[in-house]
């Protein structure tokens, strides 16, 4: 093991003053076949303003982990702490972006972005300018009065990201937000997200199946084992920012990607012929 890769045991060591702390979290579901353990004794911490990705095979509990942090489902054991306060129910001071944009087709782009403002019963007019600013930042200036069905998939997902950020939450949770997009659109969305993060420095937990996506965006990458999901390794990504797509063709980038693939090979998920 070199300086690039940390063992699973090391991941349990918290940051000095973490924004989010996940302490020994396990999640067990009841199923017809019996008890299904989705997550088993997962511990890690997120620093304020840090971008952390989670990669792992399907069914390893990545999305469950996100739901636990958001307080949308309780852990079977362990706890989640945000800014020193245990999460005991839905945590509202965050933004969530899912794989499907979940836009409301009867609301305009602007109205979709302002949906969290309406739900929170905040003064709408105070956030109209911020909504327009966010849309401009992702290349959607002039589309405020359009409807979702008039947009491409990538444009719709940009609207979903703006909606998650409009109330200026300190924490952003993203569950495979680019998984349904074509390769070219994903590349552009990854660049857009990096630009937004560099401008806002939100604390981000980003779930993805894409190794390249994780390395490109992240300060650290958490690698999950097959179910029951355990934290197998953490890779610290020391690459200069802002990162360009050309960086993916460099030896340094390939080295990080190879480390993650080696973990999956150790799990028996990637087999060389």
Rounded to an integer, the average pLDDT of 144-168 is 95
Domain topology for 43-74+171-268: Rossmann fold (3.40.50)
Distance CA 246, CA 261 (A): 20
Q: What is the pLDDT of residues 26-50, one digit of tens each?
A: 999 987 777 889 999 999 999 999 9
Q: What is the pLDDT of residue 218?
A: 97
What percent of the chain has pLDDT above 70?
Answer: 93
pTM: 0.89
**Is residue 8 pLDDT above 50, yes or no?**
no
Distance CA 119, CA 229 (A): 34
- Ranking 12-21, 127-136, 191-200 by mean pLDDT, the lowest is 12-21
Q: How confident is the model at residue 55 (pLDDT cuts 50, 70, 90)?
A: very high
Q: Which of 60, 113, 74, 46 is nearest to 224 (CA)?
A: 60
Q: What is the pLDDT of residue 99?
A: 86
**Is residue 185 pLDDT above 50, yes or no?**
yes
Residue corresponding to tokens 């008039």: 150
**Is residue 208 pLDDT above 80, yes or no?**
yes
Distance CA 110, CA 125 (A): 12
Strand partners, 42: 25
Strand partners, 220: 52, 236
Q: DSSP state, 87? A: -
Q: What is the pLDDT of residue 15?
A: 54
Q: DSSP state, 247? A: G
Q: What is the pLDDT of residue 272?
A: 58
Phi, psi of 86 (to 5 degrees): -60, 140
Strand partners, 40: none
Q: What is the pLDDT of residue 35?
A: 87
Phi, psi of 14 (to 5 degrees): -75, 160
Q: What is the pLDDT of residue 13?
A: 40
Rounded to an integer, the average pLDDT of 222-226 is 94
Cβ within 8 Å of residue 212, ≥6 positions away: 248, 253, 257
Q: What is the pLDDT of residue 257?
A: 96
For residue 226, how many other CB atoms are within 10 A of its CB? Answer: 17
What average pLDDT does the chain have? 90
User: Rg of the chain's alpha carbons, rounded to an integer?
Assistant: 19
Cβ within 8 Å of residue 43, ≥6 positions away: 11, 12, 22, 23, 24, 25, 78, 231
Portions of the chain given CATH number 3.40.50.300: 43-74+171-268
Rounded to an integer, the average pLDDT of 43-66 is 94
Cβ within 8 Å of residue 156, ≥6 positions away: 101, 103, 148
Q: What is the pLDDT of residue 175?
A: 95
- Cβ atoms 52, 79 nearer than 8 A: no
Parallel/antiparallel/unpaired status of strands 77-82 and 85-86: antiparallel
**Is residue 118 pLDDT above 60, yes or no?**
yes
């Amino acid at each position: 093991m070199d300086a690039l890769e940390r063992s699973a045991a090391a991941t349990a060591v918290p940051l000095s003053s973490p924004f989010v702390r996940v302490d020994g979290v396990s999640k067990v579901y009841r199923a017809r076949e019996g008890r299904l353990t989705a997550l088993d004794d997962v511990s890690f911490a997120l620093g304020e303003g840090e971008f952390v990705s989670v990669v792992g095979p399907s069914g390893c509990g990545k999305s469950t982990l996100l739901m636990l942090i958001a307080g949308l489902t309780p852990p079977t054991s362990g706890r989640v702490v945000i800014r020193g306060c245990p999460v005991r129910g839905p945590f509202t001071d965050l933004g969530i972006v899912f794989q499907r944009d979940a836009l409301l087709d009867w609301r305009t782009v602007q109205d979709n972005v302002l949906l969290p403002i309406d739900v929170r019963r905040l003064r709408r007019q105070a956030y109209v300018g911020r909504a327009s600013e966010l849309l401009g930042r992702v290349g959607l200036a002039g589309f405020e009065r359009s409807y979702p069905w008039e947009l491409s998939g990538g444009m719709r997902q940009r609207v979903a990201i703006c909606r998650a950020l409009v109330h200026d939450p300190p924490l952003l949770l993203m569950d495979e937000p680019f998984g349904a997009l074509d390769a070219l659109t994903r590349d552009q969305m990854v660049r857009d997200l990096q630009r937004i993060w560099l401008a806002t420095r939100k604390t981000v937990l980003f779930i993805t199946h894409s190794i390249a996506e994780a390395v490109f965006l992240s300060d650290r990458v958490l690698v999950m084992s097959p179910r029951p999901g355990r934290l197998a390794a953490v890779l610290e990504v020391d690459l200069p920012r802002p990162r360009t797509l050309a960086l993916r063709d460099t030896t340094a980038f390939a080295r990080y990607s190879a480390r993650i693939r080696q973990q999956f090979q150790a799990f028996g998920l990637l087999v060389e012929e």
